[in-house]
Amino acid sequence: MRVIFQFWYRWIDRELDRSVELPERETMEAGDWNALVGQSGERVAAKHLWRTGRKVIYRNFKPREGGEVDIVYREGDLLVFGEVKTRTRGEFGDPARAVDRAKEKLVIRGANAWLRELNHPEVVFRFDIIEVLLKPGERPAIGVIENAFTTPQTGLGM
Protein backbone atom coordinates (compact mmCIF):
# COMPACT_ATOMS: atom_id res chain seq x y z
CA MET A 1 0.00 0.00 0.00
CA ARG A 2 2.83 2.39 0.83
CA VAL A 3 4.38 1.89 -2.63
CA ILE A 4 1.06 2.75 -4.29
CA PHE A 5 0.76 5.94 -2.23
CA GLN A 6 4.33 6.99 -3.07
CA PHE A 7 3.69 6.45 -6.78
CA TRP A 8 0.40 8.38 -6.59
CA TYR A 9 2.04 11.24 -4.70
CA ARG A 10 4.83 11.53 -7.27
CA TRP A 11 2.31 11.42 -10.13
CA ILE A 12 0.13 14.15 -8.56
CA ASP A 13 3.14 16.29 -7.72
CA ARG A 14 4.97 15.94 -11.04
CA GLU A 15 2.98 18.49 -13.02
CA LEU A 16 3.99 21.29 -10.65
CA ASP A 17 7.71 20.60 -11.11
CA ARG A 18 8.00 20.27 -14.87
CA SER A 19 7.79 22.84 -17.62
CA VAL A 20 4.43 23.63 -19.16
CA GLU A 21 3.60 22.07 -22.51
CA LEU A 22 0.62 23.42 -24.41
CA PRO A 23 -0.33 22.99 -28.06
CA GLU A 24 0.22 25.95 -30.36
CA ARG A 25 -2.61 28.43 -29.91
CA GLU A 26 -2.99 28.88 -33.66
CA THR A 27 -3.87 25.19 -34.10
CA MET A 28 -7.05 25.46 -32.00
CA GLU A 29 -10.34 27.32 -32.01
CA ALA A 30 -10.33 30.25 -29.56
CA GLY A 31 -13.00 28.70 -27.32
CA ASP A 32 -11.21 25.34 -27.25
CA TRP A 33 -7.91 27.04 -26.39
CA ASN A 34 -9.46 29.03 -23.55
CA ALA A 35 -11.17 25.90 -22.18
CA LEU A 36 -7.90 23.93 -22.32
CA VAL A 37 -5.96 26.67 -20.54
CA GLY A 38 -8.70 27.10 -17.92
CA GLN A 39 -8.95 23.37 -17.21
CA SER A 40 -5.17 23.05 -17.04
CA GLY A 41 -4.99 25.97 -14.62
CA GLU A 42 -7.69 24.51 -12.38
CA ARG A 43 -5.92 21.14 -12.33
CA VAL A 44 -2.58 22.76 -11.45
CA ALA A 45 -4.27 24.93 -8.79
CA ALA A 46 -5.88 21.87 -7.17
CA LYS A 47 -2.52 20.07 -7.08
CA HIS A 48 -0.85 23.13 -5.57
CA LEU A 49 -3.52 23.40 -2.88
CA TRP A 50 -3.08 19.70 -2.08
CA ARG A 51 0.71 20.06 -1.97
CA THR A 52 0.45 22.96 0.46
CA GLY A 53 -1.73 21.03 2.91
CA ARG A 54 -5.19 22.15 1.87
CA LYS A 55 -7.95 19.64 1.17
CA VAL A 56 -9.80 20.09 -2.12
CA ILE A 57 -13.43 19.10 -1.61
CA TYR A 58 -15.00 19.92 -4.96
CA ARG A 59 -14.12 21.37 -8.35
CA ASN A 60 -16.39 23.25 -10.75
CA PHE A 61 -19.42 23.62 -8.50
CA LYS A 62 -22.35 24.93 -10.59
CA PRO A 63 -25.64 24.87 -8.68
CA ARG A 64 -29.00 24.81 -10.48
CA GLU A 65 -29.93 28.23 -9.12
CA GLY A 66 -26.89 29.83 -10.73
CA GLY A 67 -23.42 30.87 -9.71
CA GLU A 68 -20.18 28.95 -9.90
CA VAL A 69 -17.16 28.14 -7.79
CA ASP A 70 -13.99 26.76 -9.41
CA ILE A 71 -12.60 25.07 -6.29
CA VAL A 72 -14.03 24.49 -2.83
CA TYR A 73 -11.39 23.51 -0.28
CA ARG A 74 -10.63 23.35 3.41
CA GLU A 75 -7.74 24.99 5.15
CA GLY A 76 -7.91 23.63 8.68
CA ASP A 77 -11.40 24.46 9.97
CA LEU A 78 -11.90 27.16 7.34
CA LEU A 79 -14.03 26.57 4.23
CA VAL A 80 -12.65 28.37 1.17
CA PHE A 81 -14.35 29.20 -2.12
CA GLY A 82 -11.67 29.68 -4.77
CA GLU A 83 -11.77 31.38 -8.14
CA VAL A 84 -8.96 30.20 -10.43
CA LYS A 85 -7.60 32.58 -13.05
CA THR A 86 -5.06 31.28 -15.53
CA ARG A 87 -2.85 33.06 -18.05
CA THR A 88 -0.22 31.83 -20.48
CA ARG A 89 1.51 35.20 -20.78
CA GLY A 90 2.14 37.95 -18.29
CA GLU A 91 1.46 40.79 -20.71
CA PHE A 92 -2.20 41.15 -19.67
CA GLY A 93 -1.30 41.80 -16.03
CA ASP A 94 -1.93 39.65 -13.01
CA PRO A 95 -4.59 36.98 -13.57
CA ALA A 96 -6.52 38.24 -10.52
CA ARG A 97 -7.27 41.49 -12.35
CA ALA A 98 -9.72 39.50 -14.48
CA VAL A 99 -11.95 38.94 -11.43
CA ASP A 100 -14.36 41.85 -11.66
CA ARG A 101 -17.43 42.55 -9.53
CA ALA A 102 -19.66 40.48 -11.86
CA LYS A 103 -17.38 37.45 -11.42
CA GLU A 104 -17.31 37.98 -7.65
CA LYS A 105 -21.12 37.95 -7.64
CA LEU A 106 -21.15 34.63 -9.52
CA VAL A 107 -18.77 33.08 -6.99
CA ILE A 108 -20.74 34.50 -4.05
CA ARG A 109 -23.96 33.11 -5.52
CA GLY A 110 -22.35 29.68 -5.89
CA ALA A 111 -21.01 29.88 -2.34
CA ASN A 112 -24.48 30.78 -1.04
CA ALA A 113 -25.89 27.67 -2.72
CA TRP A 114 -23.10 25.54 -1.18
CA LEU A 115 -23.75 26.97 2.28
CA ARG A 116 -27.51 26.40 1.96
CA GLU A 117 -26.83 22.74 1.15
CA LEU A 118 -24.40 22.51 4.03
CA ASN A 119 -27.02 23.93 6.42
CA HIS A 120 -24.41 24.81 9.01
CA PRO A 121 -24.70 28.56 9.72
CA GLU A 122 -21.64 28.72 11.98
CA VAL A 123 -19.20 27.70 9.25
CA VAL A 124 -16.29 30.13 8.82
CA PHE A 125 -15.33 30.77 5.20
CA ARG A 126 -13.52 33.12 2.87
CA PHE A 127 -13.05 33.83 -0.84
CA ASP A 128 -9.64 33.32 -2.45
CA ILE A 129 -8.29 33.88 -5.93
CA ILE A 130 -5.77 31.33 -7.16
CA GLU A 131 -3.57 32.81 -9.88
CA VAL A 132 -1.91 30.39 -12.29
CA LEU A 133 0.63 31.39 -14.92
CA LEU A 134 1.31 28.63 -17.47
CA LYS A 135 4.17 29.89 -19.64
CA PRO A 136 5.27 27.22 -22.12
CA GLY A 137 8.74 25.93 -21.30
CA GLU A 138 8.57 27.14 -17.68
CA ARG A 139 7.27 25.60 -14.47
CA PRO A 140 3.76 26.74 -13.49
CA ALA A 141 3.69 29.79 -11.23
CA ILE A 142 0.89 29.69 -8.67
CA GLY A 143 -0.19 32.29 -6.14
CA VAL A 144 -3.08 32.31 -3.68
CA ILE A 145 -4.67 35.62 -2.74
CA GLU A 146 -6.48 34.95 0.52
CA ASN A 147 -9.59 37.00 1.36
CA ALA A 148 -9.51 38.38 -2.17
CA PHE A 149 -13.05 39.71 -1.91
CA THR A 150 -15.97 39.79 0.50
CA THR A 151 -19.73 39.93 0.37
CA PRO A 152 -21.23 43.40 0.41
CA GLN A 153 -23.50 42.66 3.40
CA THR A 154 -20.91 41.71 5.99
CA GLY A 155 -17.58 42.70 4.54
CA LEU A 156 -16.19 39.36 5.76
CA GLY A 157 -17.36 36.17 4.15
CA MET A 158 -21.08 36.09 4.12
pLDDT tens profile 40-50: 999 999 999 99
Please tell me what DSSP assigns to residue 62: -
pLDDT tens profile 84-113: 999 988 765 688 888 999 999 999 999 999
Please tell me what DSSP assigns to residue 26: G
Say what the pLDDT of residue 93 is. 67
Q: How confident is the model at residue 122 (pLDDT cuts 50, 70, 90)?
A: confident
Options 3.40.1350.10, 3.40.190.10, 2.40.110.20, 3.40.50.1000; CATH of 2-149: 3.40.1350.10
Query: Which H or E element spans position 143?
Result: strand 141-149
Helices (H) and strands (E) in the chain, counts: 3, 5
- 140 contacts 119 by C-beta, under 8 angstroms: no
| pTM score | 0.83
Please tell me what DSSP assigns to residue 154: T
